[in-house]
Structure 1
Amino acid sequence: MRVLETDISMNGALFLLTVNFLIAQLFCAFFLVISRRSRIPSAGLWFAAAFAVASLSAVFEVMIRYGDFDRIASFGAFSSVLSALLMIRVGIGRLYAVPANIWTITALLCAALPLNLMIYDLPRGSFAHSLGYQMPFAIAELICAVAVYRSGRRETADRVLMALLLVTAGNFASKVYFAVKFSGGDTAQAYLGSTFALVSQSLSAVLVVSTGLTLLAVIVVEIMDDAKANSEIDPLSGLLNRRGFDARVSQILARPMSAYPHSVIVCDLDHFKAVNDTYGHGAGDQVILAFGRMLAGHAPPEAICARFGGEEFAIFLPSTGETTGYLFAQGLRNSFSSLAIIGLPDTVRLSASFGVCALASPGDSIVDTIKGADSALYDAKKGGRNRVNRAGQAISVNPEGWQAQA
């Protein structure tokens, strides 16, 4: 009966080793595929390599069962798992912008690998063997958890990953006690056939799958966030598009203590069609790019700048009155009219027209405010272009007299 129980435990352990190997290979493939879509592909590649290396531990443990070189196979199993954990630390460093300290990793490897060889002849159920074998794993997992914590990221997936890394570190640390309490045998082969090995490997499989899935989730969330951000960016000007503009403005207006008034400036490049017709669409693209860079460079940090389409742009100035918005637009008008643009002759200077409207109180509509600014822009165009006009201002002012009007 005792032999039968041992055979069942042995077969169960071998089954789990096979499952762990296949799971690790699947995660390796998943990370290789997903890294191609990630903004930080090196993180996914490190994770893929880590799971590929970790899968070798199952091969080494099977070699212990059927081979006659237990010392080498046991060392190989230990080395592959520890190396994989440290590779995950490197991948986390890439993903979370918390670079791994090469000296810490090297020191851990230089201490753990010789130690593993030294403790091999100790009984597997002894405290000294368990401590020397399990603690490097616990330390590696703890280093990974600390890296996630140091990143400052606290999204749900980040918190789950940090918790799983800490639980896994605790799992390795607890094995120091349980390996002694429920001894799996004095030799590597005896350990593999023990009930403790079956339970230990089952728990490890659950933690490996959970950690792998969470790492995948973190990368998928990062890819989705990037895709959303890219969908809100105008590729030519580098500014927000209309969708991104509306989303950012809505966030500001939704604040409980949003400080009114806010100003909206709508601007349009003068005679832009003539630029395309005379100098080509390449030159027109350079004009759009130059104007977008000028807006981004002159706007205050909290401003929201966007290209609505064609040659039309908009700026939202939070907690800014109409007079201040008007002065800011005049500064933009002056800067652009003196700007030299790549693709145009040195003697050619362009101009733009601006309309300004204020969002005075929470009861005002941002849509109506944009329409007001657009109407003011139309008046500026009708009044001769290269001008700034306020909403409700019947006649566009002469550029030279803007200071008196302000």
Structure 2
Amino acid sequence: MLETVPLTLLAANMLFLLTAALVWAGLSQVLVIGQRTVLLLALANALLAASLGCNALRGIAWDGLSYWGANMMAISSFALLRQSIPTAIGAAPSWWPTLALLAVAGLLLAPMPPDSDWMPVINFSCLSLLMGFTSFETWRHLRRRLKLALALGLCSPLILVTALLLLRLALLLQGSGARIRDASVGNVAWLWAVLLMGLVLNATLAFMVLMRLILRIRRLTERDALTDALNRRAFGALLSREQAQLARGQGHALVMLDVDHFKRINDTLGHAAGDAALKHLVQQLQGCLREADRLGRLGGEEFGVLLPLSDQAGALLAAERMRATLQAHPLLWQGQPWPMTASFGVAVAQAPHDDADALMQRADAALYRAKEAGRNRVEAD
């Protein structure tokens, strides 16, 4: 009876991993965002299921497959996890360290006899390293983008899996490791732990992929499709939130700008050149802004720049810097430079009753004066 327990757990593990592989593979056919991630996850689950199956066939199948092959499939599975988990949150880990570790593991395991005690030690050393690096990289990327509690919550399952692998490695180094088909209490506990790892990893990755999809959809609803600047709705909402901070003494300024003679660019060079000009403008202006500043496209060739914690002097300096930068960097279209300038209007939030619409009207009036005074200049409200 006891001998059937590890085989039942092995079968349960393999069934779960193969099901997860099929689900991830199916998602790759319907998802546009994160397709590479889910394909890597499908392959990782399939390889880990194959590794467990080859382990179960030791003494029955060819030793090269059930020992060296099983270990390399397990290491390859965790190598794919190391690549897929960071990509699930929008990071891009390098393949070279992973490939180097795979090559070293393959060379070390190849000459070992099947019954060598060092074979599982090398295997779990590689698995622990891969999972440890994955946990660290995921934490580093998430901590930059999310609050501490959420970043820690997403990383904790990866840290748990790393700890389980290190525990298994420690037992192997002490000579306490058992073969995967043994009915010992330790081995049965390990097979339960493997099932837990599979559940935890796949659930965590599913949440990460879902979170990335939600953030991507949110970004698409807030960004201008052509320039990637904030769209008018998102910029207006951000400006309204800043206006609410006036009562706390946190002032801000608004800069509105309009590309000079934009119709001439469209009429002379074509609409494709006009689109390129707007992208060029956003690229140049972004380099002039602070991290807290926000740039939005309000419509056509008109843009707005929100400058938190800025007074009129600071806003005028920022606007002049943007004007000079744009003038100094003409648009390159089909190898030819095309001069580009813009006119700027600056307004500073004055009081709590000065709402977002009133502030935009004052900045727009200053912009109109800049255009009337000859363009390519900065005017303040």
Give TM-score, length-normalised by structure 2. 0.74
The offset of 1:288, in angstroms, is 3.0
**Contact 1:21–1:58 (CA<8 Å) still a contact in 2?**
no
- Structure 2 counterpart of 1:376: 366
- Structure 2 counterpart of 1:77: 70
Change (3 A) 1:153 1:118: farther
Q: State the identity %.
A: 22
Change (3 A) 1:275 1:349: same
The offset of 1:86, in angstroms, is 2.7
CA distance in 2 between counterparts of 1:348 and 1:98 reads 39
Q: Deviations over 1:251-306 (max 9, x none)?
A: 66677998754221222345544654565433433443444344334445543222
- Counterpart of 2:45 (choices 47, 51, 67) is 51
CA distance in 1 between counterparts of 2:47 and 2:337 reads 64
**Contact 1:262–1:320 (CA<8 Å) still a contact in 2?**
yes
* Structure 2 alignment gaps of length 5 or more: none
- Counterpart of 1:223 (choices 213, 237, 254) is 213
**Contact 2:254–2:306 (CA<8 Å) still a contact in 1?**
yes
- Structure 1 counterpart of 2:80: 87
- Counterpart of 2:54 (choices 53, 60, 63) is 60
Moved more, 335-344 or 159-168: 335-344
The offset of 1:211, in angstroms, is 0.6
Matched residue SS, 1:306: strand
- Structure 1 counterpart of 2:355: 365
The offset of 1:105, in angstroms, is 4.7
1:163-312 → structure 2 map (5 Å cutoff): 163-175=156-168, 191=182, 197-246=187-236, 248-249=238-239, 260-270=250-260, 272-273=262-263, 276-277=266-267, 280-300=270-290, 302-312=292-302
Alignment pair present for 1:29 and 2:47: no
* Structure 1 alignment gaps of length 5 or more: 123-127, 392-406
CA distance in 1 between counterparts of 2:213 and 2:323 reads 38
Q: Deviations over 1:162-203 (max 9, x none)?
A: 32233223323444688999x897x765x1x56654443233
* Larger radius of gyration between Structure 1 and Structure 2: 1
CA distance in 2 between counterparts of 1:269 and 1:371 reads 18
CA distance in 2 between counterparts of 1:352 and 1:177 reads 66
- Structure 2 counterpart of 1:396: none
1:148-163 → structure 2 map (5 Å cutoff): 148-151=138-141, 153=143, 155=146, 158-163=151-156
The offset of 1:337, in angstroms, is 6.7
Change (3 A) 1:180 1:331: closer
Change (3 A) 1:168 1:27: farther
Amino acid at match of 1:25: A
Q: Deviations over 1:55-104 (max 9, x none)?
A: 21233245348x35567424433332232123322434655445362544
Amino acid at match of 1:99: S
- Counterpart of 1:99 (choices 72, 94, 100) is 94
Matched residue SS, 1:320: coil
The offset of 1:137, in angstroms, is 3.7
- Count of matched residue positions in the alignment of Structure 1 and Structure 2: 372
CA distance in 2 between counterparts of 1:352 and 1:157 reads 42
CA distance in 1 between counterparts of 2:289 and 2:180 reads 68
CA distance in 1 between counterparts of 2:380 and 2:113 reads 82
- Counterpart of 2:115 (choices 117, 120, 124) is 120
Change (3 A) 1:251 1:14: same
CA distance in 2 between counterparts of 1:343 and 1:178 reads 66
Q: Deviations over 1:306-353 (max 9, x none)?
A: 210012211222333224434554565566678755569x99867644
CA distance in 2 between counterparts of 1:352 and 1:143 reads 48
Change (3 A) 1:368 1:33: same
- Structure 2 counterpart of 1:401: none
**Contact 1:263–1:359 (CA<8 Å) still a contact in 2?**
yes
Amino acid at match of 2:80: M
Q: Deviations over 1:209-248 (max 9, x none)?
A: 2112212322332333233334333233443222343455
Matched residue SS, 1:239: coil
Structure 1 vs Structure 2 CA RMSD = 4.5
Amino acid at match of 1:59: G
Amino acid at match of 1:171: L
Change (3 A) 1:44 1:358: same
Change (3 A) 1:105 1:257: farther
